[in-house]
DNA sequence: AATCCTACTGAATCGTGGG
DNA sequence: ACCCACGATTCAGTAGGAT
């Protein structure tokens, strides 16, 4: 079974990390306070939604809807819920690395309060993501629109944390080569994935689908990252993290949920390194200085470069700068000046003649990068 | 031109309503305070989003993105924005009829604060609606998911206000005969619908598509209702309200927007009554007592009724009650008892044999209702 | 064997009107 | 205010048994 730690067993010493890939049993805020500062890369939080349900709800066939009326979802007032929310978000903030990000999922019952508090605590919202359900529960009384989605807030630690992980190219490739949008379509957690106890009842009333977590982790973490889930429940976050080669830490109060999560995670087979290689765009690739083309002999000083239509030309100087008429400077700056623009990507703007046709100098950069990759 | 009222011209006397189908020029809160209590059916509000833009944003081709950097979208802090939001929401609340509803649209920059404040002010959220854009602006820097949606909150005045308007049947009919979901797909406003000035520049930076407003008003208002828009802008709400046979009131500070809105609304041709007839369900039809079937001779005492499969039968008594075995009572109560359920719609459960087949007694109720309609 | 029928279920702030 | 009768209202999917 996956290790389960009681609160007293958690080592707060940064070098220990005995809490890695374990479930910490205890209150969310107390457990968070046992973890060291700036120790996790990403947090996924699925807090109580504070549904304020009235009486019972029946379907048109008079069957009863099995509502989420668990004690842990009950709060006396908005004030109490807000205080709870502020406490766990603040504790999360301390544990999060400076360039880490946090995801919080909710519905209209709670997500507005959560989002406002996140902003108040200086988290910087990067996106709100809509999980569109393919198969939501209908509105049985015909008094509202069918509540067919939930909302996730994705935020960095603060507005200045620019170096958070976002696997833009991988998301784009996974989405027919267009940018991944802020609305995602997934079925609710059903069928074989849904954990049931011996009586055939669901173990947890609000188990999230693994596909949702997989997209969250694939987009905002790298293999080996540490993912914290302060409301672990039956461990969807842990199961997906393990499968995707990420480390997890879960916090959970209820022993039933811990037992189910632990067994579930044990059964997960991690994917191999090849499957996990994240598609990266140019951003993640090493920077190449234009001068290194000259240094490596791929480009000779004095070479004449031009734009794709040979309307503008420039001469390569030995120091890696370019001259075009009166303009001199980097490939980017000169490219911008000759076009009268503020900026320009010189790698794609400037071309060289290889004897047959004009090719962008970017192809030479690719050769350099291949060499860099071989060198490890 | 549509009438434009200055603040002093607004009549606060309930019987005057000289502000109907006008644009009130002035500050939002001040103008709201000039309107009488409980005087509007629905409010649609598109408040400033408080975008906190950093520097300029350029596309990959180095063209500049024309951001919404207007003075009215600038707030010094979250506190200032919150105070502003609370003030206009509170003013709206007083003006709203007890069974009225309010729509507020926003993005992740402001919608969480707005939603939390709405809850604090005791508005009762009915749905959050996601407007999915078919053609959102891309994320040019590749650092986030494409922000492809905006969020609307639909709320009643308080939790006890149950008699708000929701045209459930019309929405369902408009959606391939399944319930309308909380995620709506529309293009952003451009092309001929987008108002441009003589220079070809857009008149308003955030003009909303008429299709969005049309669904809002078709779902939550009836012809003749009064729709208030406290941030009228270029009058999309007014134009759609007029077209759909609803009355509008707009509040706007900027003369340029007022001029554009006024001319725009003048050009709108209202639809006729036939086109505007709202599809309704059984809920809207008059109640019929089962005994009136007997009184009118459509059903004779002693008739034997059964369920659709002839598994259960019952005898009609002269007083409009039913007997089935030991159970006796109304068609609903006996229907529930014989099925072991808490409730049952006797009109659809019980059937009679017309010599050819079993028909639900509901067809007889329809005949009664036809007679009632003829009689006026 | 393939198809059909029935039962069940999912984070739900889910009615109206007369006495 | 509460109480109670009336009677309106569901989509996608899974599971298992019947045809």
The residue length of chain A stands at 376
Q: Does B281 touch chain A (CB under 8 A)?
A: yes
List A residues 198-227 in contact with B (Cβ-Cβ < 8 A). Answer: 219
Q: What is the 3-state secondary structure (H, E, C) of A76-109?
A: CCHHHHHHHHHHHHHHHHHHEEEEEEEEEEECCC
> Nearest CA to the C1' of D11 belongs to which residue?
A138
Q: Chain B partners of A344 at a C-beta cutoff of 8 Å? A: 62
> Nearest CA to the C1' of D8 belongs to which residue?
B283
pLDDT digits (tens, 9 = 90+) for B148-165: 999 999 999 999 999 999
Q: Determine the nucleotide nearest to A142 by Cα–C1' distance.
A: D9
**Lowest-confidence range among A127-131, A270-274, B304-308?**
A270-274
Determine the Cα–Cα distance for residues A125 and A122; give it in Å rounded to an integer.
9
Residues 209-268 of A with CB under 7 A from strand C: none
Beta strand spans in A157-312 (E): 183-186, 226-229, 247-252, 304-306
Report which of A112, A151, A83 is spatially closest to residue B119, judged by C-alpha positions: A112
pLDDT digits (tens, 9 = 90+) for A42-72: 999 999 999 999 889 999 999 999 999 999 9
Q: Whose structure tokens read 């049931």?
A: A196
Give the gap in angstroms from C-alpha B262 to the nearest C-alpha of chain A: 33
Residues 132-151 of A with CB under 7 A from strand C: 135-144, 147, 150
- The C-alpha angle with vertex A112 and arms to A109 and A115, in degrees rounded to 5, equals 135
Residues 33-62 of A with CB under 7 A from strand C: 46-57, 59, 61
Q: Considering CB atoms only, which of B78, B146, B181 is closest to A179?
A: B146
Report which of B243, B212, B245, B247 is spatially closest to residue B229, judged by C-alpha positions: B247
pLDDT digits (tens, 9 = 90+) for A104-146: 999 999 999 999 999 999 999 999 999 999 999 999 999 999 9
Q: Does A58 touch chain B (CB under 8 A)?
A: yes
Give the gap in angstroms from C-alpha A213 to the nearest C-alpha of chain B: 16
Q: What is the mean pLDDT of chain A?
A: 92
Q: How far is CA B55 from CA B58, B64, B143, B145, in A?
A: 10, 11, 15, 20
B144·A125 Cβ contact <8 A? no
Q: Which residue has the higher pLDDT, A299 or B132?
A: B132
What pLDDT is stored for residue A376 in this prediction?
A: 45
Q: What is the mean pLDDT of residues B238-260?
A: 97
Q: Chain B partners of A179 at a C-beta cutoff of 8 Å? A: 138-139, 142, 145-146
What pLDDT is stored for residue A375 in this prediction?
A: 56
A119·B113 Cβ contact <8 A? yes
Residue B3 has a CB neighbour count (10 Å cut-off) of 13
What pLDDT is stored for residue A279 in this prediction?
A: 64
Report which of A224, A217, A231 is spatially closest to residue A91, judged by C-alpha positions: A231
**Reported confidence tier of residue A37, pLDDT bands at 50, 70, 90:** very high
Q: Chain A partners of B136 at a C-beta cutoff of 8 Å? A: 181
Determine the Cα–Cα distance for residues A322 and A344; give it in Å rounded to an integer.
14
Angle between helices B255-266 and B236-243 (to 10 degrees): 20
Residues 155-174 of A with CB under 7 A from strand C: none
CA atoms within 13 A on the CB side of A307: 13
Run of H or E including A154: strand A149-156
pLDDT digits (tens, 9 = 90+) for A345-365: 899 999 999 888 999 999 998
Residue A348 has a CB neighbour count (10 Å cut-off) of 14
8 A C-beta contact, residue B34 and residue B14: no
What pLDDT is stored for residue A281 in this prediction?
A: 61
pLDDT above 90 for B330? yes
Q: What is the mean pLDDT of residues A320-340?
A: 85
pLDDT above 70 for A8? yes
What pLDDT is stored for residue B130 in this prediction?
A: 98
Token digits of residue A4: 């389960």
pLDDT digits (tens, 9 = 90+) for B87-135: 999 999 999 999 999 999 999 999 999 999 999 999 999 999 999 999 9
pLDDT above 50 for B247? yes
Provide CB contacts within 8 A for A68, sequence distance 6+.
A49, A51, A53, A205, A206
Please return the burial class of A275, using the count of CB atoms within 10 Å of its CB with bins 0-12, 13-18 and 19+.
Answer: exposed
Annotate A287-310 with DSSP letters as a single string. Answer: P--HHHHHHTTSS-TTPEEE-TTS
pLDDT digits (tens, 9 = 90+) for B160-182: 999 999 999 999 988 888 999 99
pLDDT above 60 for A374? no
Q: Considering CB atoms only, which of B128, B136, B144 is closest to A108?
A: B128
A367: left (phi over 0), alpha (psi -120 to 50) or beta: alpha
Between β-strands A304-306 and A247-252, what pairing exists: parallel, antiparallel or unpaired? unpaired
Q: How far is CA A357 from CA A101, A308, A314, A350, A361, in A?
A: 46, 10, 17, 13, 12
Separation of B146 CA and D17 C1' (Å): 48
pLDDT digits (tens, 9 = 90+) for B189-210: 999 999 999 999 999 999 999 9
What pLDDT is stored for residue B154 in this prediction?
A: 98
Between β-strands A358-360 and A4-6, what pairing exists: parallel, antiparallel or unpaired? unpaired
pLDDT above 50 for A270? yes
**Reported confidence tier of residue B1, pLDDT bands at 50, 70, 90:** low
Q: Is the pTM of this model over 0.75?
A: yes
Determine the Cα–Cα distance for residues A331 and A341; give it in Å rounded to an integer.
13
Determine the Cα–Cα distance for residues A28 and A229; give it in Å rounded to an integer.
10
Determine the Cα–Cα distance for residues B115 and B155; give it in Å rounded to an integer.
10
pLDDT above 50 for B7? yes
Q: Chain A partners of B281 at a C-beta cutoff of 8 Å? A: 142
Enumerate the nucleotides of strand C whose atoms come under 7 Å of any protein CB. Answer: 8-17
SS3 B221: coil
pLDDT digits (tens, 9 = 90+) for A92-103: 999 999 999 999
What pLDDT is stored for residue A258 in this prediction?
A: 98
Provide CB contacts within 8 A for A227, sequence distance 6+.
A40, A41, A42, A43, A44, A217, A221, A237, A241, A246, A247, A248, A249
């Amino acid at each position: 079974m996956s290790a389960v730690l009681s609160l007293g067993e958690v080592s707060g010493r940064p070098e220990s990390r005995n809490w890695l890939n374990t479930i910490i049993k205890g209150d969310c805020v107390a457990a968070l306070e046992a973890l060291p500062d700036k120790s996790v890369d990403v947090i996924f939080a699925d807090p109580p939604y504070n549904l304020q349900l009235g009486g019972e709800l029946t379907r048109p066939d008079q069957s009863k809807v099995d509502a989420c009326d668990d004690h842990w979802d009950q709060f006396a007032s908005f004030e109490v819920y807000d205080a709870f929310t502020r406490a766990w978000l603040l504790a999360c903030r301390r544990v999060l690395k400076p360039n880490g990000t946090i995801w919080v999922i909710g519905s209209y019952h709670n997500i507005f309060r959560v989002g406002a508090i996140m902003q108040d605590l200086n988290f910087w919202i990067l996106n709100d993501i809509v999980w569109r359900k393919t198969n939501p529960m209908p509105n049985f009384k015909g008094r509202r629109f069918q509540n067919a989605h939930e909302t996730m807030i994705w935020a960095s630690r603060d507005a200045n944390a620019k170096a958070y992980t976002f696997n833009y190219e991988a998301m784009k490739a996974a989405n027919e080569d267009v940018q991944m949008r802020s609305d995602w379509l997934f079925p609710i957690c059903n069928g074989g994935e849904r954990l049931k106890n011996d009586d055939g009842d669901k173990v947890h009333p609000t188990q999230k689908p693994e596909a949702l977590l997989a997209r969250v982790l694939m987009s905002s973490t790298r293999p080996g990252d540490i993912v914290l889930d302060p409301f672990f429940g039956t461990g969807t976050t842990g199961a997906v993290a393990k499968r995707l080669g990420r480390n997890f830490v879960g916090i959970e109060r209820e022993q039933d949920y811990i037992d189910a999560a632990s067994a579930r995670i044990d059964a997960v087979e991690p994917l191999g390194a090849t499957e996990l290689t994240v598609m990266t765009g140019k951003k993640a690739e090493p920077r190449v200085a234009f001068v290194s083309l000259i240094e490596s002999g791929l480009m000779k000083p004095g070479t004449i470069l031009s734009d794709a239509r040979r309307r503008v030309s420039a001469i390569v100087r030995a120091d890696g700068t370019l001259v075009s008429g009166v303009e001199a400077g980097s490939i980017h700056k000169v490219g911008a000046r000759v076009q009268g623009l503020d900026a320009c990507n010189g790698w794609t703007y400037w071309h060289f003649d290889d004897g047959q046709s004009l090719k962008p100098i970017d192809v030479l950069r690719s050769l350099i990068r291949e060499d860099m990759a071989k060198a490890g």
